[in-house]
Amino acid sequence: MIGTQDLLIALALGAFFFGAKKLPELSRSLGRALVEFKKGLEDAPEPKPPAPASGKPEAK
């Protein structure tokens, strides 16, 4: 599980690599992408269950 120390290290590395001004923009776009992904999952059609197999063996 991710702890507080892990989050602080990740934030520090993010600030180092992307700069403090760029982090809010990156997190905002990540949040929007997550929302769009969830919408896509909700809009996806339900998978159809497989047809029941008949009791007959297949002819070869």
pLDDT tens digits for 4-48? Answer: 999 899 888 888 888 878 878 888 998 999 999 999 888 877 777
Distance of CA 46 to the CA centre of its chain: 19
Full residue range of the structural domain in which residue 32 is found: 20-44
The pLDDT value given to residue 58: 60
Distance CA 51, CA 10 (A): 48
Q: How many residues does the chain have?
A: 60
What is the dihedral sign for C-alpha 12, 14, 18, 20? negative
The pLDDT value given to residue 41: 85
Q: Is residue 33 domain-resident?
A: yes
The residue behind tokens 């760029």 is 22
- Give the residue, 54 or 58, on which the prediction is more confident: 54
Query: Looking at this protein, which amino acid is placed at residue 42?
Result: E
Total domain count, the chain: 1
In sequence order, what DSSP letters do the residues of 45-58 get, joined into one string?
PPPPPPPPPPSSPP
Confidence (pTM): 0.49
Q: Is residue 34 domain-resident?
A: yes
